[in-house]
Amino acid sequence: MQIIILCLLILISDTSENSSALYVVNVERNGKIIYTWKGNQRNTHIGLYDRQTKQNEHLYMFERDLHIISCSVNSERTLLAVSFRQYTEEERVSRLLQSVSKYLTLLIEIHPINNVRVLKAVDSCVRVQFLYPDEGRCTSTESRLLLASEDKYIEQFDIHVVAEEEHKVVIQNSGQLPRARVADDLIWAQWDMMEQRLFYIVPKESRNTLKCVQFYPDENFNSVLESHLDISVHDTRLKLVNFGYDYCQDREVAPKSLNLQVFTSKAGGLCVCCSLASDIPDEITYSIYFLHKGYNKTFTVSLERAETHQLKEVAFLNLDYYVAAYLPGQFLHLLNIQHPDLLCYSLFLTGEDARVDMLPSCSIQSPLVSTVLDCCAGSIYAVSISDTALLQFLRNSKQDSERLAALHCALLCVGSTTDLETQIIWWISENLSTCHTFDPIQEFIIASLYCRMCPEMHNLDKLLPYTSLLDWIGVIPGVTCATDIISLPILGVQNSKGFWDKLNSNLESVKYAEPHLHYHNNVLRREWLNLSEEKEERRTTAYLRNILENAKKVLSHLDTWDCEERLTPLFQEEDYQQQLLMGLMVSQLKDHLMRHLQYVGKKKIDQIVLDYVANLLNLIHRMMKEVWRRYELHSCVFCFDKRGSAAEFAVFHIMSRILEAANGMCLPLPPGFHTLHLGLGVRCLPLHTLLHYIDTGVLHLTEVCVRKLLKDLDNTEKNEKLKFSIITRLPEALGQKVYQFWNHPVNANFIARKYVKLLLQKLGNGQCSRPVPERHSVPVEFLPLNYLTNTLAGIENQGLHPCEKEDHVNTRFVEETALRHTMMLLGLKYS
């Protein structure tokens, strides 16, 4: 099972039967591959492969057997820069060529093939790279070329060309080409082809400093970033990354040379990945500097098989949302760039899970996002994370850290799809009791909402919660992690757009305590409880009307989404408590976003908030629908004449866990959830368990379910016990609505109690001033009852009848009901 899969994008074949092996020397911004091969006359050829058209183009040929070090072609394919080694040191000595330069760098006119100009003739190696303007720009008469020298400097050449007759392109300047020094005294440099950036490190005082130069299409270049790194560099040679590929030279590089790469992400992430030397043979150590977060994490991995002769350097791959640290045959570590704070969001794989087919054992590069270049074979691969393998890994995982990392990777990196969500819901329904350090339902809901909503607007990812966990104290076997706070990088760019704007936003969030920016439900829970406990007469305030109006907007918004017939009986009744929670969540989330996104505007924020809460309800409904469908349940859950099946009990258990997850994060539930839950509970649970669940708040009594229960069940002894137990637990307001649906003495008891209570309240309010007359018409000598009925009769005689619409309810009705109930309790027959 492979989490990371490779898809072959380019495989360059030999151009002739007699040609030698091909070598890739560069990948340009447009994705075109520059490669070399030796012809049958030992001529050195340079070709260009276009992966879109799958066509090869011959660029140039040297009538010598040369070792090409670096090569680049401009975007118009009119100029070719080539750096090659003329002779080795042994060849120079044997041929007495001490005065001849060891390396040569040429600028060649190739459209058509014309003049050749020498740029460098030195004894130090030089790498070349043309700058590429925006892809939509028209043909230009100016090209800019970077030269990176082994003497630890980088300079830029400005090349102007003119078009002559017969479409010839000729370099305009006859003298020396204008040049500008870009960087000096560097010990490491990396070229970012897609974004036209140069990252490099220079020793500065007691520590090394990472800098970045941004090249612009129509301007020169600017230094835009500076960051101090606590990385010790023992090898003083210049190390270049993504400046083409020299297979022979890279084989000569010592294994302990600086293995460092810089990766950026679309969301403004900036990471420095560095493999560190370890004195322990069976350990590998590497650090990831999350510069956009302000801390560094150093990982030490204990290797399962410490076969030192087979170990290679840790390879770092850029997967945009993740950075992968890969050691063939040992481990594959996927590190979450956006949320690296908790280790459980990093997916650490070993053994067969960490195997990546087609990746070579030799050195590999990641020149572009989600690509791997095998320079030896002339192949380039697209790298992706397999959702199928992730789901399989999720099912087979035995540790919470693996489950949580795989769950977040599937939802946030692969992206939520209908099929993927279905598979995750099925996994959750089977593993509710296996996760001990996190709630999978909470993580699924929160992470899915985060994934759906954050692409709508920049900076929204810093304000919405992405997890239900506040911390995680678990461990990953074989891996130790040390976290160090580092200084934030200094940006030297203003009014920037794209990556630099997002990076600056990330840095500002760190400065202002990012964890406090995420929406939290503490205030929501407190306000909801306060409103839920208020008296009925206080529910007509303007504030409360606004809250309920918010809930109506959410439900109407949801109705426009879900056009299919609902499999589960949800959204078919009003639920005051849940509507109250919906409306409050809308109100408080809106206030939270308005505090930090004032520039967006109220209308847009209103839309975002409605989408968020509606998506939340839709996700819970989606979970119910998938569970309903999986267990093949129907509307029989509201038929109380039979006991529930094993499938219904399983669904009841899942609904209980959904309720627990929602209560834990104070999330609203779809209207009808409690009715459905109670209906399943009545069918599946023994009476004492059912009542216990009601008393502890697991099951909520709803008008719809109780009314149906009272109407549908006959008055057998067992059913009477169930009904009476339910009736005695009803809140007064709900009881007044449903008692009329049960034709039973218990109903009379309730009405009588209500009548007595109202009369005595009037008596307590001083509305009865005359003495109570004696009543001699009561046929039964039961002194406490006689006194009560005399008192009530006196109140009635004053015209204070509280139940005028119910003529059959009076003192006589109270008396008869009390006697009948007393005789039933004593086991006597009442006549």
DSSP states of 398-412 as a string? Answer: -SHHHHHHHHHIIII
* Percentage above 70 pLDDT, the chain: 77
DSSP class of residue 206?
T
In 716-782, which ranges are continuous DSSP H helix? 717-727, 732-738, 745-764
82 vs 117: CA distance, rounded Å = 11
Could you tell me the residue range of the domain that residue 822 belongs to?
A: 745-826
Q: Are 607 and 678 part of one and the same domain? A: yes
Largest interatomic CA distance in the chain: 143
Instruction: Enumerate the β-bridge partners of residue 301.
Output: 284, 479
How far apart are the two ends of the chain, measured CA to CA in Å? 80
Range ranked top by mean pLDDT from 84-93, 589-598, 636-645, 813-822:
589-598
pLDDT at 504: 92
Strand 188-192, strand 239-241: pairing: parallel
Of 700, 727, 757, the one marking the end of a domain is 700
Q: Are 545 and 692 part of one and the same domain? A: yes
Q: Are 536 and 629 part of one and the same domain? A: yes
- For 682-702, give the secondary structure using H, E and C: HHHCCHHHHHHHHHCCCCCCC
Q: Are 547 and 625 part of one and the same domain? A: yes
Structure tokens at 726: 């339910």
Residue 552 lies in a domain: yes
Checking if the pLDDT of 310 tops 90, the result is: no
Of 700, 733, 757, the one marking the end of a domain is 700
Checking if the pLDDT of 223 tops 60, the result is: yes
Over residues 12-30, mean pLDDT: 70
Of residues 806 and 238, more confidently modeled: 238
Q: Are 622 and 528 part of one and the same domain? A: yes
Q: Are 792 and 661 part of one and the same domain? A: no
Checking if the pLDDT of 252 tops 80, the result is: no
Q: Are 593 and 693 part of one and the same domain? A: yes
Residue 527 lies in a domain: yes
* DSSP assignments along 123-158, one per residue: SS-EEEEE----TTPPP-SEEEEEEEETTTEEEEEE
Structure tokens at 32: 């075109």
Q: Are 758 and 676 part of one and the same domain? A: no
What SS3 state is found at 675?
helix
Residue 764 lies in a domain: yes
557 vs 87: CA distance, rounded Å = 74
pTM: 0.83
pLDDT at 566: 56
Confidence grade of residue 825 (pLDDT, cut at 50, 70, 90): low
Over residues 788-812, mean pLDDT: 61
Helix (H) or strand (E) holding 530: helix 522-532
Weakest mean pLDDT among 5-19, 146-160, 577-591, 597-611:
5-19
Over residues 731-751, mean pLDDT: 67
Residue 397 lies in a domain: no
DSSP class of residue 759?
H
Q: How many CA atoms lie within 13 A of 546 on its CB side?
A: 8
Of 641, 669, 700, the one marking the end of a domain is 700
Confidence grade of residue 772 (pLDDT, cut at 50, 70, 90): very low
What amino acid is encoded at 819 in this protein?
A: L
Sign, CA torsion 664/665/666/668 = negative
Q: Tell me how many degrees the CA angle 531-536-537 measures, rounded to the nearest 5.
A: 110
Strands (E), 231-352: 239-241, 259-264, 270-276, 283-290, 295-302, 315-318, 322-327, 331-336, 347-350
Confidence grade of residue 152 (pLDDT, cut at 50, 70, 90): very high
Q: Are 755 and 816 part of one and the same domain? A: yes
For residue range 406-432, what is the model confidence (pLDDT) as tens digits? 998 888 766 667 788 889 999 999 998
* Cβ(84)–Cβ(140) below 8 Å: no
Range ranked top by mean pLDDT from 391-400, 527-536, 650-659:
650-659
pLDDT at 773: 45
* Cβ(102)–Cβ(83) below 8 Å: no
Q: How many CA atoms lie within 13 A of 585 on its CB side?
A: 29
User: Closest by alpha carbon to 321, among 346, 291, 287?
Assistant: 346
Weakest mean pLDDT among 56-70, 324-338, 350-364:
350-364
Q: Tell me how many degrees the CA angle 707-711-717 measures, rounded to the nearest 5.
A: 115
* DSSP assignments along 586-628, one per residue: HHHHHHHHHHH-TTT-HHHHHHHHHHHHHHHHHHHHHHHHHHH
Residue 352 lies in a domain: no
Instruction: Enumerate the β-bridge partners of residue 58.
Output: 47
Report the number of distinct structural domains present in the chain: 2
pLDDT at 41: 79
For residue range 28-83, what is the model confidence (pLDDT) as tens digits? 888 888 999 888 778 899 999 888 888 899 999 998 888 899 999 998 889 999 99
385 vs 524: CA distance, rounded Å = 37
User: Closest by alpha carbon to 582, among 640, 522, 667, 501?
Assistant: 667
What SS3 state is found at 652?
helix
pLDDT at 54: 85
Q: Are 756 and 651 part of one and the same domain? A: no
